[in-house]
Amino acid sequence: MGSSRSLLSAVQRETLHALSGESARFDELLSRHTTLKIGGPADAWVAPPDIDSLSKVIQFCIAEDLPMLAIGGGSNLLVRDGGVRGVVLSTRGLRALSVNSDKVVTVESGVSTGKLLSSATKWGLGGLEFLGGVPGSLGGGMVMNAGTYLGEFKEVTLLVRSMRLCDGVIVERDNAECGFVYRGSALPTSEIVVEAELKLTPRSIEEITEVVKSIRTRRKEREPSGASNAGSVFKNPEGDFAGKLIESVGYKGTRVGNAECSPAHANWFVNHGGARASDMLTLIDGARAKVAAEHGIELVLEWKCIGED
């Protein structure tokens, strides 16, 4: 399906392969790169091994007039069945992670939240305990201001560096300029996060481990397992909970194909295997309509939807 519609010539494919450290894949199903395991093909999927390589790929795409779209670890992401035309830029290859004497952690955007948390724990640095059980990568976490009831990235971020898709140049923003809000930020979609600096505080490994174990246990008890998912579907309305509202209208357990509003938690929609994006979108629309009709509340999607129908 992807190759017949691809925007890329053979020469462009060869160049992308060379520029991206040979990570480039073509007509690549994006279901392989999302936690929901749903998504049609991208003309090209590339994961450059370092920031300089990413800049070169971007500059090449600009010169060749190829559309670009950036994704992180693939959590909180629904890719439509028609896939994505052009080049999908993955930050998966950007994995540098270090700490200095001032307890400032410098982390590239492809580092997983789990790796970031485990490294901070090893270094005896607290402040990231809220990441216990949170999937995804640093880049997506920054854009979404990922967090739990224990905290969010806004509370520990000093600055964020992102690369402009218009020229491959890096822009640096401090915490205030990032515009962090509940499950969101002002970081532009026309840029791709490449690195952040986090200010953490010393804390014993035992204390961190205990808190992280507690939050992971809580998540395990409350959230579905055994099926692919992308985290919470809707943002919690002010003063209420999306899951509670969805459950109150009798939507829990509703299925469309192999997509289901989880019986374990109504704000988690799962893929039992082979679900299509169209199934998931129908399920989303149904939940929104029922909650709006019965409660007068418009649920706001926390997931990001990309691609063609």
290-308: buried (b, 16+ CB within 10 Å) or exposed (e) per residue? bbeeeeebebeebbbebbe
Catalytic residue of the set 25, 85, 161, 183: 183
| Ranges assigned E (strand) in the chain | 25-29, 41-46, 68-71, 77-79, 84-90, 97-99, 104-108, 125-126, 147-148, 151-152, 157-164, 170-174, 191-199, 201-202, 228-229, 255-256, 259-261, 269-271, 304-306
Q: Do 194 and 51 form a contact (C-beta atoms < 8 A)? A: yes
Q: What are phi and psi of 242, to 5 degrees?
A: -60, -45
Q: What are the residues whose beta carbons fall under 8 Å from the beta carbon of 201, sequence distance 6 or more?
A: 103, 125, 126, 127
183 is catalytic: yes
161 is catalytic: no
Catalytic residue of the set 112, 162, 232, 262: 232
Q: Which residue has the tokens 């289901």?
A: 260
User: Measured over all CA atoms, what is the biggest interatomic distance in the chain, rounded to whole angstroms?
Assistant: 56
232 is catalytic: yes
Q: Do 19 and 89 form a contact (C-beta atoms < 8 A)? A: no
Catalytic residue of the set 197, 223, 260, 302: 302
Active-site amino acid positions = 183, 232, 302
